[in-house]
Structure 1
Amino acid sequence: MSPRSEDKLSYGLVDFLQNLVLRALIGGIRLLPYRWRSPLCGFVTARVIAPLAGYPRRIRENLALVYPDLPAAEVRRLIHRVSHNAGATLIEVYSGADFRKAVASSPVLGEGLAALIAAKERGQGVLLISGHFGNYDVPRAVLSSLGHPVGALYKPFRNGYFDAHYRKTISEIGTPIFPRGRRGLAEMVRFLRRGGMVGMLIDQSVARSPRLPFLGRPARTATSAAELALKYGLLLVPVYGRRTAGATGTGFDLIVEAPVPHSDPLTMTKALNASLEAQVRAHPDQWLWIHKRWKR
């Protein structure tokens, strides 16, 4: 069940039945106390789901590109921890209001928070840029809890029934939510021009985008965030929700870095890649090595 543009949602019988099954599974896990959900879902993902889905092979291939001399024992450790983090993040995001409450008091590190507050006071829009690192919704949850509402651009799921549930759940973390597509992008731009904050992820390969350095390899990276910042005078700020006890931890630090200076789209996007790269190299077990980041 893959995400896609909001104008291609499906509402057939198979979609309805699939939605019932997924809702039942997620609902069953959400009956557990919040503190148990993340470790349990992470463990099940690492031990059961990841091998069935082929995650170990993808992780191993990506690690070989970036760290060709990594010892086999460390590769095995990272496969387990990356898969654990993926499963934990999934159920945390699906926990909506419970997740927001659990992370609301996370420490805010870095030198960028003052810049965010100053931008809000003068009515300047802000793009918060992150990647699939730690839990990417921590910035939205923490900042919204501090009185700085953060919207998000997301990919709707093909299954229209499940997408409605997913959108409602992630809206409990922060609003507004903008589905990818012409209408969603137009709404997001209007929100930003009114001084809003929006979170975006930039670490997936986007066709026909320039190949920019990331972890020592050229990776297709969309420059759209930098282009929006330049066109509408937005602050461009790297942010990360880093787990405090590694990939299996349930606590977080919110890292808000200094804004990326305005120059040109390529230079600014390279700076965003370099920022995320520093986080990944310091905490490789918290990045989603499952993605096909370097498509050949």
Structure 2
Amino acid sequence: MASWLVRLFGRVACALSARGAERLGRLLGLVWFHLVRIRRPTVLRQLRAAFPSWPARRVRSVARELYGNLGRWAAEFVRATGPERVRVEALAGVDVEGLAAYESATAGGRGAIVVTAHLGNWDLAACSQAFAGRRLTLLSRRLSNRGLDRYWMERRRAAGLEIVEERTPFVRLAELVRSGRTLVLIVDQATPPEQGGVRIPFLGRDAWTTRLPAMLAVRTGAPIFPVFVHSPAGARHRIRIEPPLAPDAASGRPLDRVLGLTRAINERLERRVLEHPDQWLWLHRRWKEFPRAPQDRR
């Protein structure tokens, strides 16, 4: 049923005007916040912990705006990966900053690592760059609902994104980077210690954080480009490619370089979340606890 409803939403969004689709998406997002309330307690709790000085009214307002944004972004995403007549219009509203440094680093078929987050319309941004001909490989978790997951992956692949599953071996990911692909990693979800997660400060509290991008950079020598998206209502999407991060060869052991890079990635992301808290996906349990002590399994 959920898959059928999402496909219906996609068809309706593509049939409407851009503004009509955005309004429909926002309305459904607000219904999700006020009536369905999925993950709403998690969102409110994490916002209160991250911004303890905020009054309750502001916490609720930011949470409400987030849900409205999610609905709007869903409408924009299905239009950007839909029929050509609506796709061209949707993708025309995307600007990219900092592209020159990325193109210089990847000239001659060299690979790179992009770290990003569920910030702004992240899926639309990735698809827009795949449509532009960039060789992007996205490491993605799968949705538990198979129908929804199939639809989501169909839309991403329609844009030209190569998708690899989260459990792809490290050696294979390193090969992709060495072969000249840009590997896109979403780094803002809790990573358990048995998957290489380490506790790194994020928004004032330690959070289990993936070491994967840092480990790949140390192993392959590829630069890490933090890339974040800002998607305000009624304005253009802005993809910001930040200056690259590289392992400090003078910092000693490879593990020290990995941890240093991982902290730097979290710091970059934290700054962007603080700028636009209503644009980050607070629905994930970012500070989830795991029972086991961290171990290096790679």
The residue number in structure 2 matching 1:253 is 238
The residue number in structure 1 matching 2:293 is none
Q: Could you report, residue by residue, the CA deviation over 1:241-277 in whole angstroms, capped at 9, with x for unpaired residues?
A: 212xx3x345211100000121311111111111111
Deviating more after overlay: 212-221 vs 122-131:
122-131
**Residues 127-150 of structure 1, C-alpha deviations (whole Å, 9 max, x = no match):** 111111111134423433444232
Q: 1:192 aligns with which of 177, 180, 197?
A: 177
Contact 2:46 2:282 in 1 (8 A): yes
| Counterpart in the other structure of 1:203 | 188
State whether structure 2 residue 37 is matched by structure 1 residue 44.
no
Query: What are the superposed Cα offsets for residues 49-108 of structure 1, whole Å, 9 maximum, x if unpaired?
Result: 554134432221011111112022211210111111222223333331445752356332
Distance in structure 1 (CA, Å) of the matches to 2:66 and 2:3: 27
CA spacing shift, 1:203–1:77, aligned 2, 3 Å = same
Q: With the length of structure 1 as denominator, give the TM-score of the two structures.
A: 0.82
Structure 1 equivalent of residue 129 of structure 2: 143
Q: Counterpart in 2 of 1:92?
A: 76
1:269 paired residue number: 262
State the Cα RMSD in Å.
2.5
Residue aligned with 2:101, SS:
helix
Q: Structure 1 residues 160 and 196 mapped into 2: Cα distance closer, same or farther (>3 Å)?
A: same
Q: Which residue of 1 aligns with 2:251?
A: none
Amino acid at match of 1:63: L
Q: Relative CO higher for 1 or 2, CA cutoff 8 Å, sep ≥ 6? A: 1
Cα separation, 1, equivalents of 2:23 and 2:172: 36
Any conservation in 2 of the 1:151–1:174 contact (CA below 8 Å)? no
Opposite residue 244 of structure 2, the aligned amino acid is P
Q: 1:56 pairs with 19, 40, 48, which one? A: 40
Distance change (3 Å), C-alpha of 1:166 and 1:139:
closer
- Cα distance in 1 for partners of 2:6, 2:131 equals 29
| Alignment coverage as a number of residue pairs | 274
* Alignment partner of 1:174 is 2:160: yes
SS for the counterpart of 1:70 is coil
In the aligned structure 2, how far is the partner of 1:100 from the partner of 1:78? 31
Spell out the pairing of 1:1-296 with structure 2 (5 A cutoff): 19-48=3-32, 51-95=35-79, 96-97=81-82, 98=86, 102-104=90-92, 106-110=94-98, 113-182=99-168, 188-208=173-193, 209-243=197-231, 246=232, 248-249=233-234, 251-263=236-248, 264-296=257-289
The verdict on how the C-alpha distance between 1:101 and 1:140 changes in structure 2, with shifts beyond 3 A counting, is farther
Question: Which ranges in structure 1 are unaligned for 5 or more consecutive residues?
Answer: 1-16
The question of whether the paired residues in 1 share the 8 Å contact of 2:13 and 2:78 is answered with no
State the SS of the aligned residue for 1:195.
Answer: coil
- Alpha-carbon deviation of 1:21? 4.5
Contact 1:93/1:170 (8 A) holds in 2: no
Partner SS state of residue 240, structure 1: strand
Aligned-partner SS, 1:137: helix
- Asked if structure 1 preserves the Cα contact closer than 8 Å seen for 2:26 and 2:69, the reply is yes
Tell me the TM-score normalised to structure 2 length. 0.81
Determine what percentage of the aligned residue pairs are the same residue: 26
Structure 2 alignment gaps of length 5 or more: 249-256, 290-298
Q: Is the 8 A contact 2:33 2:64 kept in 1?
A: no
- Of stretches 278-287 and 169-178 in structure 1, the one that deviates more from structure 2 is 169-178
